[in-house]
Amino acid sequence: MSEEIIVLNPATGQEIDRVKKESKADIDKKIEKAHETFKKFKKKNPHDRSALLTEWSKLIGEHKEEIAELITKENGKPLQESRGEVDYARSYVDYYAEEAKRVYGRTIPPHEDDVRMVVTKQPIGVVAAITPWNFPIAMMARKAAPAVAAGCTFLVKPASATPLSAMKFLDLALEAGFDEGVVQYVTASGKDAGEAFTESDKVMKITFTGSTAVGKSLMEGAASTVKNITMELGGHAPLVVHKDADIDMAVEQAIASKFRNSGQTCVCANRFYVHEDIADAFSKKFADASKKLKMGNGLDEDVAIGPMINEDGYDKVMRHINDAEEKGGKILTGGKGSKDEGYFIEPTVITGATDEMVIMNEETFGPVAPIQTFSTLDEAIEKANDTEYGLAAYFFTESYRDGIKLQEGLDFGVLGWNNGKPSAAQIPFGGLKESGMGREGGPEGIEPYLETKITSMRV
């Protein structure tokens, strides 16, 4: 009997479905198929590839509600957020349907009279992706759409916690008319998929969104065949509120940043630095707004905070809360969790955070906001940068001078100035330092799927 992956609803602990756990041999067959299909697909006219993406987008729109429900059931995020994720995923498909037609080369003025120099771009080949459970379809869309727009064939291993929405999403690509070998999924263990992808000399590119630890091991594996890689890894985002900030706006945007997907995104604000002059006012308003967020099963329309994905996620967040409390943090709201049925943790705001607390040093991936005060902007920038991560950072100030100082001083790839929701298909999303390499989204997001050739011709 073949092994199975059991998919659970994190809001109830109940089984939703089972999918076959594929072996390394199964994955190798799919890589072979992607390799064979690439020989034909790379020659498909970019306008035809664009039309296929447009048809896929249309089908995603038609199945929005069904996919959103699947996301909420297997991931736990509130239905409104799941609908938002379907729109977000679709926006990548739409964006790269256009970019497929804009893969330009160039000519270079030669240094010899009888020479002509031409730069051309071509698809890199078979792309293998590993995608996370926190955005089961959006993180896949921002890899799949530019890959096929460029003319690559695409193989993805969705997270074992959330394969159902990902499978549905890719089935729609086939329904839209992509050949079977152009987009495929494998439902396997991360270890088997990682090994099969990195060891194969037919896979030309690995693209991964997930933890820094797993990213490092994939990078090591990819080194043996010198594969092209894109890595979107962990974050530990600081959120700085300066003394002249519009406090109401900062609270509203900080709520959006902190509690999206119950704090389970790589770009969620993880540590707050608030100027001492406004710290009490900000903390009180932020705690009051956090308290109003209803926690529960994401299928209920008015729920804003769903469960943690699993027991490990729950235990980690509770460890961060308990450690902060033991080290003198004051809980303004929340602080309690329950794993009797599902893995729920109240939206939590902690003041008096210090540098020694685990939560100020590690990614939490949960609905907890620790607040520390600062007196000078230099101090805030230094603390914000004191991490091996460099994905997202947020800052709130009405002053253009201080804003530019923060914008230039913060070592992060995605910055939100008076904005807690910077993500969009048209921006180049990605991190510095151990948060990864490469960018996804925007015109930059198709480049990693293209090879550049220079042809120098004597005429």
What are the residues binding ligand SIN (CB under 6 A)? 134-135, 209, 232, 265-267, 423, 429
Place of tokens 């707050």: 272
Tell me the two tokens of residue 303. 């729920």
Tell me the two tokens of residue 86. 């379907």
Q: CB-wise, 125 or 442, nearer to ligand SIN?
A: 442
CB of residue 232 to ligand SIN, shortest distance in Å? 6
> 55 Cβ partners below 8 Å, 6+ apart?
176, 177
d(CA 449, CA 278): 47
| Among candidate residues 254, 236, 237, the one with its CA nearest the CA of residue 245 | 254
> 39 Cβ partners below 8 Å, 6+ apart?
none
CB of residue 84 to ligand SIN, shortest distance in Å? 10
CB of residue 210 to ligand SIN, shortest distance in Å? 8
Q: What is the number of the residue whose Cβ is closest to ligand SIN?
A: 423
Q: CB-wise, 140 or 266, nearer to ligand SIN?
A: 266
CB of residue 276 to ligand SIN, shortest distance in Å? 31
Q: CB-wise, 73 or 77, nearer to ligand SIN?
A: 77
d(CA 424, CA 294): 26
CA angle 165, 205, 424 (to 5 degrees): 50
Q: Which residue out of 22, 266, 268, 362 is catalytically annotated?
A: 266
| Among candidate residues 173, 136, 131, 128, the one with its CA nearest the CA of residue 16 | 136
**Partners of 127 in the β-ladder:** 154, 205
CB of residue 195 to ligand SIN, shortest distance in Å? 23
Q: CB-wise, 402 or 440, nearer to ligand SIN?
A: 440
Question: Is residue 446 within 8 Å of 452, Cβ to Cβ?
Answer: no
Cα 41 to Cα 38, 50, 145, distances in angstroms: 5, 13, 14
Q: Which residue out of 232, 363, 434, 440 is catalytically annotated?
A: 232
Would you call 268 a catalytic residue per the annotation?
Answer: no
Query: What's the burial of 112, exposed, middle or buried (CB within 10 Å: 0-12/13-18/19+)?
Result: exposed
Q: CB-wise, 132 or 163, nearer to ligand SIN?
A: 132
Q: CB-wise, 27 or 391, nearer to ligand SIN?
A: 391
User: Can you count the helices (H) and strands (E) in the chain?
Assistant: 13, 22
Instruction: Give the phi and the psi of residue 340 in degrees, each rounded to 5.
Output: -65, -45
Task: Find the helix or strand (DSSP H, E) in which 273 lies.
Answer: strand 269-275
Would you call 232 a catalytic residue per the annotation?
Answer: yes
d(CA 423, CA 430): 10
Q: CB-wise, 136 or 335, nearer to ligand SIN?
A: 136
Query: What's the burial of 456, exposed, middle or buried (CB within 10 Å: 0-12/13-18/19+)?
Result: exposed
Cα 193 to Cα 130, 179, 223, 235, distances in angstroms: 8, 22, 16, 24
User: Considering Cα of 226, then 35, then 156, then 88, what sign does the dihedral take?
Assistant: positive
Task: Find the helix or strand (DSSP H, E) in which 374 lies.
Answer: strand 368-374
CB of residue 215 to ligand SIN, shortest distance in Å? 12
Q: CB-wise, 403 or 422, nearer to ligand SIN?
A: 422
CB of residue 131 to ligand SIN, shortest distance in Å? 10
| Among candidate residues 253, 48, 73, 230, the one with its CA nearest the CA of residue 139 | 230
Q: CB-wise, 34 or 138, nearer to ligand SIN?
A: 138
Question: Is residue 239 within 8 Å of 368, Cβ to Cβ?
Answer: no
Residues that are catalytic: 232, 266
